[in-house]
Structure 1
Amino acid sequence: MRLHKCIFLDRDGVLNRERGDYTFKINDFEILDGVKEALKILKESDYLLIVITNQAGVAKGLYKEEDVLKCHTYLKVQTGGLIDDIYFCLHHPISTESLLRKPNSLMLEKAIAKWSIDPEHSFMIGDSLRDIQAAEKVGVRGILVGDKEEGENMTAPKAKNLLDAVNKFIVN
């Protein structure tokens, strides 16, 4: 069986603007500059593109799973159908513990099994430490984007945004 290389992508802060509040309405779903170009480069380099995102607002009663699905359909359409799959966790410790929720790795594990992914040739691009921790648990290299996470304990390579990460660390 052929193993595939993959780019796992966090959603908020990597693909769309992190608003500091939950993004669950299409009107608020702003795809960041350079995202479509970065996804095209990755596809041309034969990577699977899989979104891995916590969506705890559902557990908190702020919005419904249907709202998440609408945003994901919008994301796929606006990025030219380049995204292969999207995994999301609707849980939050206030109501339910879940191994799906990052920094746990069950969403990545499910994707790896379903898509026959080779962790050694894959990356997780996220904007928070929990993204990197989830990736490390399954042997996937992490790349941090943005400036949300700072500090000496940050060992993952850093980039300004998704396009910068792709150019610096993946297709260089």
Structure 2
Amino acid sequence: MKLLILDRDGTLNRSRDDYVASPDEWEALPGALEAVARLNQGGWRVVLATNQSGIGRGLFDMASLNAIHAKMHRQLAVVGARVEAVFLCPHAPEDACACRKPAPGLFMQVGARFGVPLASVHAAGNAMRHVRAAATAGCQTHLLMTGKSEHLRGRLGQGSEADLAALAPDLPSGTHPHDDLAAFADWLLAQSTT
């Protein structure tokens, strides 16, 4: 099974300084939904792993989050894309749970649910905590230069992991950099054909 775990905010949709707390605030990044469609067409099953501490902080509730995800699923469907599941951590940081990234709990849940060894799973996101959690769980890691990592865009050589390691020394070794989700999809689909 070809399984891919994506972060949500800053990877699939625009990040906000506060929280995406309503469907009106959820806005897909340009080309991101189409990238998921291309991945699906290439045989990749896509799931999300996302921290949603706004729930634990009382800033929005599960009904609001479900409405956000319903909008996301509708917009994905319009372009022929599908996210099969959303794994989320609703806890606030002080809850010290095992699922809040950078802890690997969400990734372990994905592996258990789909019955796949995480070493065969690619994980892509824009936040260091997503990449560190994925690496701890044993996934193949990819950093997207969007959202929280947009400041790194243009500072790297063409796909240079050495440059990335110098700019972000706390990033797990072997992490592949990509400009955005569309560039990552191009890379992953090209790997699938070789």
TM-score (norm 2): 0.81
Report if aligned partners of 2:32, 2:181 keep a CA contact under 8 Å in 1: yes
**Secondary structure at 2:28 match in 1:** coil
**Secondary structure at 2:53 match in 1:** coil
Supply the AA of the counterpart residue of 2:85. Answer: D
Give per-residue Cα distances to partners, 1:6-62, cap 9 Å, x unaligned: 110100000100112200211111011111221111112211110000000111111
Matched with 1:120 is 119
Quote the Cα distance in structure 2 between the aligned partners of 1:46 and 1:134.
25
Q: CA deviation at 1:118?
A: 3.5
Larger Rg: 2
Mapped pair 1:171 → 2:171: no
Q: CA deviation at 1:121?
A: 2.6
Equivalences for residues 144-159 of structure 1 within 5 A: 144-147=143-146, 148-149=148-149, 150=152, 151-153=167-169, 154=171, 155=173, 156-159=175-178
Equivalences for residues 31-110 of structure 1 within 5 A: 31-80=28-77, 82-94=82-94, 96-110=95-109
Quote the Cα distance in structure 2 between the aligned partners of 1:143 and 1:157.
5
Quote the Cα distance in structure 1 between the aligned partners of 2:120 and 2:40.
14
Moved runs in structure 1, 4+ residues, more than 3 A?
Answer: none
Supply the AA of the counterpart residue of 1:93. Answer: P
Identical residues among aligned pairs (%)? 25
Report if aligned partners of 1:5, 1:119 keep a CA contact under 8 Å in 2: no
Residue from 7, 12, 32 that aligns with 1:15: 12
**Secondary structure at 2:56 match in 1:** coil
Q: Residues 152, 52 of structure 1: CA spacing in aligned structure 2 closer, same or farther, 3 A cutoff?
A: closer
**Secondary structure at 2:4 match in 1:** strand
TM-score (norm 1): 0.90
Listed as ranges, the gaps of 5+ residues in structure 2 are: 153-166
User: When you count helix as a share of all residues, which structure comes out higher?
Assistant: 2
